Amino acid sequence: MEKNDGSTGERQRVAQLQLFHQPRQGKKLLVLDIDKTIYDCTCSNIYRRTRPYLHQLLEESFKYYDICLWSLTDMNTVKFKVNTMNIGNSSDFKILFYMDATFSEMVMKQKPIITKPLSKIWNVLDQYGPTNTIICDDNPDNLVQNPKNGILVAPYYFKNFSTDKELQYLQNYLKYLSEAEDVRKVDHKKWKEIEMKLRK
Ligand SMILES: [Mg+2]
């Protein structure tokens, strides 16, 4: 007979990270949100769902970062979107792992909000910690547990497909950030200002 003391069930609910390759030594970790950060699921034209410059960003960032995707949906939806964006099987970059909503955590602020605590990664993969992990998301709520590790990006809407350059700017900033000893020492609230100066 099964005991119902909560402990077994709790353990079963602990989500597992599934790695597609080994973490690379000396690389920082880049955590990318999917919806509205790199993808707009509302577009009927599949080609325009993917945010412009995504492939360039992944290819360039892969030189300095291991890369993971974290979406507050389920794993099948994550995989579907990865396929649509055609980023699951590139020779130029590799995604290290995917995370879905089961890794999220609710915290109480003025109201309950869903967050993406980076400790869910740090507790499992020793190589990554507060000094070398950066998370990019269009929803500030997701970043509240690690504000100094978070870059807030403008949301992507497919109607802006021909003019959207957010990921080009982000790629530039991430390259700059890759040299930081501790990513928390750079003020990511000013990332756009910093990036603009880098271009001059
Ligand atoms: Mg999002």
Which own/partner contact pairs does 188-193 have at CB distance under 8 Å and 24+ positions apart? 188/134, 188/148, 188/150, 188/151, 188/152, 189/152, 191/151
Residue 3 pLDDT: 40
Asked whether residue 69 is assigned to any structural domain, the reply reads yes
* Tokens matching residue 78: 């994550």
Residue 132 pLDDT: 98
Distance from Cα 113 to the centre of ligand 1, integer Å: 14
Give the separation between CA 33 and CA 116, rounded to whole angstroms.
10
Residue 71 has pLDDT above 50, yes or no: yes
Residue 15 pLDDT: 66
Residue 6 pLDDT: 42
Distance from Cα 157 to the centre of ligand 1, integer Å: 11
Closest CA to 90 of 57, 64, 121: 57
We report the CATH number of the domain holding residue 103 as 3.40.50.1000
> What beta strand segments (E) does 128-197 contain?
133-137, 150-152
Distance from Cα 2 to the centre of ligand 1, integer Å: 39
Give the separation between CA 158 and CA 155, rounded to whole angstroms.
10
Residue 14 banded pLDDT, cuts 50, 70, 90 = low
Distance from Cα 37 to the centre of ligand 1, integer Å: 5
Distance from Cα 33 to the centre of ligand 1, integer Å: 6
Asked whether residue 1 is assigned to any structural domain, the reply reads no
Distance from Cα 137 to the centre of ligand 1, integer Å: 6
Residue 195 has pLDDT above 60, yes or no: yes
Asked whether residue 34 is assigned to any structural domain, the reply reads yes
Torsion angle defined by CA atoms of residues 68, 72, 78 and 80, in that order, rounded to the nearest 10 degrees: -150
Distance from Cα 6 to the centre of ligand 1, integer Å: 32
Asked whether residue 2 is assigned to any structural domain, the reply reads no
Total domain count, the chain: 1
Distance from Cα 139 to the centre of ligand 1, integer Å: 6
pTM comes to: 0.92
Give the separation between CA 191 and CA 149, rounded to whole angstroms.
12
Q: Which domain holds residue 137?
A: 28-199
Asked whether residue 168 is assigned to any structural domain, the reply reads yes
Residue 12 has pLDDT above 90, yes or no: no
Residue 157 pLDDT: 98
**Residues above pLDDT 90, as percent of the chain:** 90
Residue 149 pLDDT: 98
Start-end of H helices in 73-190: 75-85, 119-122, 166-177
Residue 7 banded pLDDT, cuts 50, 70, 90 = very low
Mean pLDDT of the chain: 93
Distance from Cα 136 to the centre of ligand 1, integer Å: 9
pLDDT digits (tens, 9 = 90+) for 132-172: 999 999 999 999 999 999 999 999 999 999 999 999 999 99
Asked whether residue 166 is assigned to any structural domain, the reply reads yes
Residue 10 pLDDT: 43
Asked whether residue 194 is assigned to any structural domain, the reply reads yes
Distance from Cα 1 to the centre of ligand 1, integer Å: 43
Asked whether residue 6 is assigned to any structural domain, the reply reads no
Residue 94 has pLDDT above 50, yes or no: yes
